[in-house]
Amino acid sequence: MAQTGGSVSLIAEPIEAVATAQAVYAEVWVPMDRHHERARRTEQLAAYRVDGALLSHAPREAVAMHCLPAVRGQEITSEMLDGARSLVWRQAANRLPTAQAVLHTLIVTSRRRTT
């Protein structure tokens, strides 16, 4: 970050956090192995739901992202998943070629070391 001028900030207030964001990244609230925590986590994290109201506080060019699978209406609304500001489906489509590139690089690098 020192070389590029980037920075990382931890902000607990959702509206303040998105005020200067270029991307708002939603994450699954309840991991598959924690279904028993669904009610508690849903209540605790409701203020962090990525929806139109939250993104209305972000710059106009800010986009919504999610690693999928998403629980529509929980961590992100359908409006955001399928809307004009969403990069979610492009993000998902890029996952396979990205993984393939990583594997290719690892294999090629490994072969160079053994020869």
pTM of the model: 0.80
Task: Specify the residue for token string 């529509």.
Answer: 72
Report the Cα–Cα distance between both ends of the chain, in Å, rounded. 36
Residue 114 has pLDDT above 80, yes or no: no
- β-sheet bridge partners, residue 10: none
Full set of structural domains in the chain with CATH = 14-88 (3.40.50.1370)
Neighbours of 41 (CB within 10 A): 16
Contact of 49 with 74, CB cutoff 8 Å: yes
Q: Is 8 or 88 the better-scoring residue by pLDDT?
A: 88
Tell me the pLDDT tens digit for each residue of 67-78. Answer: 999 999 999 999
Contact of 3 with 41, CB cutoff 8 Å: no
